[in-house]
Amino acid sequence: MAFDYDKYIRPGKLPHIWCPGCGHGIVMKGLIRAIDAVGLEKNNTAIVSGIGCASRLPGYMDCCTLHTAHGRAAAFATGVKMARPEMNVILVGGDGDGTAIGGNHFIHACRRNIDMTYIIMNNNIYGMTGGQFSPCTPTGAKASTTPYGNPDPAFDVAKLAIGAGATFVARGTAYHATQIDKLIVEAIQHKGFSVVEILDDCPTTYGRRNKFRSVIEMMNRLKEVAVPVKAAEKMTPEQLEGKILTGVLHKVEKPEYTAEYAKVIERAQAAK
């Protein structure tokens, strides 16, 4: 039987705002399958976002949904999770929202290791505002504000998350649709701050400026650059040149923030 996405979609809120060929819908479907697989209760699940195309995702989901200010999803979500730790808190957003204006909240959510899952849809561009370069736009690429090519180096979102202390970091792509839910399932089940970067495509504002003649070409690029971590172990540095590792990149156990704060409460009440 076909999977019933309607169970998690708010009645009357589709169609979504995303352009034809955009990968965000693929990610949303992956997220829905993951929520279903883990068995999260809609009443007890908050989906929090910032601003941008990807950040419109919560509105379509029949959960407790919070569409916040640009870059602030992690900070709002931290308030939700701290105040009600029994809730499942999932953050979604794009690369500009999460790594530029929201960079500080992102790294500190990683550092605290607070039990939330952050799905970051990296399409290398600010799509909603018309295609300005983001911290994840490749050097040399064209954007509406880099007419002579992007002089900036790009972030590696996964490495940034690992460096900042996230205890689960995975990467998938919009091409590898069936892998997305598997990664998100593992991320949700992980106790601590989990980051799932999904390499995504923006045909409208990135593709057309960077010589991608079709969505299929953009999807094929995702297929070609992705190398599963296991496969990468057997490859030479030369073979890995220009490739991007996918799969679970990092997984460690560390004290989780709300559990640690529960101990603070115990200590405070014991001393009372």
Partner 1 sequence: MAKKVAFMQGNEAAAQGALYAGCKFFAGYPITPSTEVAEVMSGELPKVGGKFIQMEDEIGAMAAVIGAALTGKKVLTATSGPGLSLKQESIGYACITEVPCVIINVMRGGPSTGMPTGPSQSDVMCAKWGTHGDHPAICLVPASVQELFEETVRAFNLAEKYRTPVMVMPDEIVGHMRERIVFPEPGELEVINRTQPTVPPEQYKPYDTQFGDVPPLAAFGSGYRFHVTGLNKMADGFPTTKAAIVQAEEERQVRKVEANRADIMKWEEYLVDDAEVVVVAFGSTSRSARFAVNEARKQGIKAGLFRLITFWPFPEERLLEISKKVKAFITPEMNLGMCTGVVKGCIEGNAPVHGIFRVDGEPINPNEILSKMKEVK
* Rounded Cα gap, residues 166 and 91, in angstroms: 14
Q: How far is the CB of 43 from partner 1 (least distance, A)?
A: 5
DSSP 204-234: TTTGGGTT--SHHHHHHHHHHHEEEHHHHTT
Binding mask 1-40 for partner 1 (x = CB under 8 A): ---------x--x---------------------------
Q: Pseudo-torsion of CA 33, 36, 40, 41, nearest 10°? A: 120
* Rounded Cα gap, residues 181 and 27, in angstroms: 8
* Binds partner 1 (CB under 8 A): choice among 63, 158, 162, 185: 63
Task: Return the residue matching tokens 């949904």.
Answer: 65
* Rounded Cα gap, residues 132 and 38, in angstroms: 37
| Nearer Cβ to partner 1 (125/164) | 164
* Rounded Cα gap, residues 134 and 130, in angstroms: 12
| Nearer Cβ to partner 1 (69/141) | 69
Q: Which parts of 82-101 interact with partner 1 (CB under 8 A)?
A: 82-84, 86-87
59 binds partner 1 (CB under 8 A): yes
121 binds partner 1 (CB under 8 A): no
Q: How far is the CB of 195 from partner 1 (least distance, A)?
A: 17
CB of 93 closer than 8 Å to CB of 50: yes
Q: Which parts of 210-269 interact with partner 1 (CB under 8 A)?
A: 261, 264-265, 267-269
48 binds partner 1 (CB under 8 A): yes
Q: How far is the CB of 41 from partner 1 (least distance, A)?
A: 10
| Nearer Cβ to partner 1 (86/238) | 86
What the block records as the tokens of 180 is 């997305």
Q: How far is the CB of 267 from partner 1 (least distance, A)?
A: 8
* Rounded Cα gap, residues 258 and 194, in angstroms: 14
| Nearer Cβ to partner 1 (40/215) | 40
DSSP 49-70: E-SSSGGGGGGGBSSEEEE-ST
* Binds partner 1 (CB under 8 A): choice among 28, 35, 75, 202: 75
- Picking from 108, 143, 104, 136, the residue whose alpha carbon sits closest to that of residue 121 is 136
Q: How far is the CB of 120 from partner 1 (least distance, A)?
A: 18
* Binds partner 1 (CB under 8 A): choice among 24, 30, 94, 105: 105
Q: How far is the CB of 108 from partner 1 (least distance, A)?
A: 4
* Rounded Cα gap, residues 134 and 31, in angstroms: 24
Q: How far is the CB of 64 from partner 1 (least distance, A)?
A: 4
* Three-point CA angle 50, 160, 53, nearest 5°: 25
Note the residues at the interface with partner 1 (CB under 8 A): 10, 13, 42-44, 46, 48, 58-59, 62-69, 72, 74-84, 86-87, 104-105, 107-108, 261, 264-265, 267-269, 272
